[in-house]
A and B are shown apart, each in its own frame.
Chain A
Amino acid sequence: MTIDKQNYKIHYFETNKFNATQIKIVFTKNMEDKDYTYGMLLKKMMKSSNRSFKNKRDLEVKMEENLVSWNDIVTKGQGKLFQFNVSVGFLNEGLLGLSPTEKNLDFLEKILFNIKVEDEGFVKKDFIKQKDIYMKSLKSLRDYPSDYADLRFAKVFDDGGIFSLDSQGEIQFLEKCNEKSLYNFYKDMLNNWKLDVFVLGKVDVDALEIKLDNLFREKREVLNLVEYKSFIKSNSNDVKEVKEKFKTRQSELRIGYTLEELDFKEIVATSKVLSDILNSTSGKLFKEVREKHSLCYTIGASFYQSHHVIEVFTKISAENYEKTKSLIIGIFESLKNGVTIDELNDAKKTWVNNIKSAEDSLFSFQRKIISKEFKEKYSNEEELSLINSVTLEDIVKLANKIHLNTIYLLEEE
């Protein structure tokens, strides 16, 4: 059930299935370049400069004392939208003789509202410490070749676009951030961003509503969100091929494809079926590149539907670059000629199962609910029906909307 409180919404899905409840508070705004960076730093401030917790260790102890089974603060992009999520998870009332709901809500309140403030900004000493730690972490990116390859690929593929923003944050935005600008970002989040509270589990809804009303009683000027879909900036027909040398012991290959705008069926069903045809352990990439030619251990294709991007990723020996590249491009070209009926039916079956098993995990269940709030809205029945209705022609139509754009190799020196 959804309770519309005018300046925020409560989405409550009652279930006893998981023995536990998760409450997730989701703030959403239109994406700006600096958001990932500011969001990551805000997360650090919430946990380390908080009036309710002496230090990070004290926060962890208080979690245990307050019967918080898990707590998470996550920044997330959904195409052109940026989200800051704070969640707690706890055992359902009465299990082990415990009453954790109220304690968890109190904990959530402390995390969200008790960051230390002075002179219309966060406490400078704490801010500088966290900024310094964060800066050093960002500068360590090169110690992780796979993450570094992802970032470099994104920059080559969509320089200056939303897809190229590093979800871990970026030094250029961090350098400009100070204790006051981050505080303003935080105030803006509390007062102006769209606010949704997602609850999956079993709680006393009336008590929850009173508590949340108390937390968010201030009148909020909720901004209008743009449509979530985004496209990469450069959509030229010229294929970019970039190789960069790096001190690594294995080369990282990324191949980026753009997608034309998808219709409703392609978003809900056809792209998922095609993803399985490419991606599973029975998929074309795994079978051809790994099993038949032994060129890699890991290979896959990420469908970034919100961005209209497909990114193929694999790790190879540099001497196998040309062969691997040709095989992957050949697989995508072959999709335009169609797939077999067996491939189609097996992929459909996988997705029907995925839809069912998503409801067997609290986390995937809630992720799906949240995604539907901001993207296309459809029921499970509608999704199942559309998946089952995907035809061979649908696959060919979608395959023809996929265009090779960028080939990137982070090559061992």
Chain B
Amino acid sequence: MKKTYFEAFDLDIYYEKISNGLEIYVLPMKKFSSVYATFTTKYGSIHNNFRFKGEKEYKKMPAGIAHFLEHKVFESENGIDVFDVFHKNGARPNANTSHVRTCYLFKTNEKPLENLDFLLNYVQEPYFTDENVKKEKGIIVEEAKMYHNINDYYISDVVMNNLFHKSEYKIPIIGTIDSINSITKDQLKECYNTFYNPSNMVVIVTGDVEPKETIDLIKSNQSKKSFPSIPEIELFKEEELDSVFKEKEFLDLDLENDTVSLSYKISLKEILSDGFEVDILNWYIYGLLFSKTSDLNEVLDEKNLTIGGYSSGFFRADDFLIINVDFKTDKDAEMVVNIVDEVVKNVEITKADFDRKKQKMKMVLATYPMNVNTPNNFILSDVVNNGFLNYNVLNDLENFNYDDFIKYYSKLSLENKAVVIAKKKA
């Protein structure tokens, strides 16, 4: 068990990688009475084409299978209802799937170790039958229809499809109704046996816990189980071009106003090949060019180009930084898109802007330990996306200066973007 002071949170973090490969992070937060625990496999919706090292053929799985598996892992052979067990122990369980991971979690004020023991057990002892797979399809199809029925989600799915040529990021996390209906018990087992091996997983516990007894419990739990030693997992990946698959698409959704989703696909390949860690850079690019403190907000507001402002966000997809801007407008939508493009490409970033953002980011980090959930999610995101927790994040942030930013920023291009316009009803 290794103890490290994590300056960003002003707290100690305890880490151990146990003999079966499972990684454990424990962050004691003694001011709180709750405990939040996550048990995560580094397996998400983009990991659909894989093989073990040494195997000849890749196995191609239906879209949405990681998410389907998330639902099925709650099923146990002895008929125990996972939700009931947590409920009796005063805990609130949940699970979620992203492009790159599937996470099982609970929050509790009572019996944290008992609940943690159960979390490990139910995730590692799933039960698949043809019957329970069939039953789940009805629920997941309704979930897919729910997302499909939210216009903003639907438009965003179309943008994701249009951004990428071959990457699995094209496909919605939940899959399509056809792909969901095609999933079989054997495919679920195959994916489970590949990606739910402890060597591909991480446990993170934050809140009112003792690190030693927490790690000891996990070790004891794992020592009672045997897992096959698996070869390295190889993912089938085709080179993704810097360009977008489709630059513009119009949808007929019969809406009250034109609704626009615009996404930039910014290649990070050149910077990554320098060995530079891009997370901090990405945050600055988004904050300075697209957030509510940017020129974009001023221009859209002053020229009255949108209805109710705009929303924006960013994430990393392999070698690309994706930044999206969504808005409704009663003006000529294509004209507004051109203005957005012109504004973000011509932003002048001053040192004062940069320093203000640096201060802001430090403040954001300092507020993460306001509850037991956010630090857990921060650690998880770092571990899944980068393969490790950057203990020096505050230092790196402090040392990344304006000249560094300008140097790297000048290497990036905003030329590749996909635009989807859902036209208002005639």
Q: Spell out A's residues near B (CB within 8 Å).
A: 16-20, 48, 55-58, 60-61, 64-65, 67, 69, 91, 95-96, 98, 129, 133-134, 136-137, 139-146, 247-250, 280-282, 286, 290-291, 294-298, 315-317, 342, 346, 349-350, 352-353, 356-357, 359-362
Contact = CB atoms under 8 A, between A and B. Distances in A.
A297 B143 contact: yes
Interface stretch (B193-201, B293-301, B334-342): B293-301
Contact of A282 (B84, B356, B363, B370): B84
Given A296-B142, A297-B140, A362-B370, 5 more contacts: A56-B297, A91-B366, A146-B149, A247-B254, A357-B109
Given A95-B366, A317-B142, A349-B90, A137 B34 contact: no
8 contacts: A19-B370, A64-B359, A95-B366, A140-B307, A248-B149, A316-B142, A349-B90, A361-B371
A145 B145 CA distance: 12
Q: Considering the complex of A and B, which 9 residue pairs feature the smallest CB-CB distances, nearest first?
A: A294-B138, A297-B143, A57-B298, A282-B87, A281-B83, A60-B292, A57-B297, A356-B109, A250-B149
A136 B307 contact: yes
B150 interface: yes
A216 B309 CA distance: 32
A282 B109 CA distance: 18
A136 B366 contact: no
B125 interface: no
A346 B359 contact: no
B356 A61 contact: yes
A290 B139 contact: yes
B301 A57 contact: yes
B255 A143 contact: yes
Contact of A146 (B93, B150, B293, B366): B150
Interface of B: 31-34, 81, 83-84, 87-88, 90-93, 107-110, 135-140, 142-143, 145-146, 148-151, 254-257, 259, 291-295, 297-298, 301-302, 304, 307-309, 328, 330, 356-357, 359-360, 362-364, 366-367, 369-372
Contacts of A362: 370-371
A18 to B, nearest CB: 5
Contact of A281 (B93, B143, B145, B256): B93
Contact of A60 (B31, B145, B254, B297): B297
A249 B157 CA distance: 16
B367 A20 contact: yes
Given A64-B360, A360-B372, A56 B142 contact: no
Contacts of A298: 143, 146
Contact of B110 (A61, A280, A315, A353): A353
A64 B292 CA distance: 11
B71 to A, nearest CB: 10
Contacts of A91: 363, 366-367
A58 to B, nearest CB: 8
B19 to A, nearest CB: 34
Contacts of A250: 142, 145-146, 148-149
Nearest to B370: A18
A349 B88 CA distance: 7
Contacts of A281: 83, 87, 93
B54 to A, nearest CB: 40
Given A55-B301, A69-B363, A317-B145, A64 B83 contact: no
Contact of B362 (A17, A96, A359, A360): A96
A48 B297 CA distance: 12
Contacts of A349: 87-88, 90, 110
A133 B308 contact: yes
Q: Report which residue of A142, A145, A281 has the largest number of chain B beta carbons within 10 angstroms of its beta carbon.
A: A281
Contacts of B139: 290-291, 294, 296-297
A64 B356 contact: yes
Contacts of A139: 256-257
A91 B257 CA distance: 40
B307 A295 contact: no
Contacts of A58: 298
Nearest to A132: B304
B109 to A, nearest CB: 4
A356 B146 contact: no
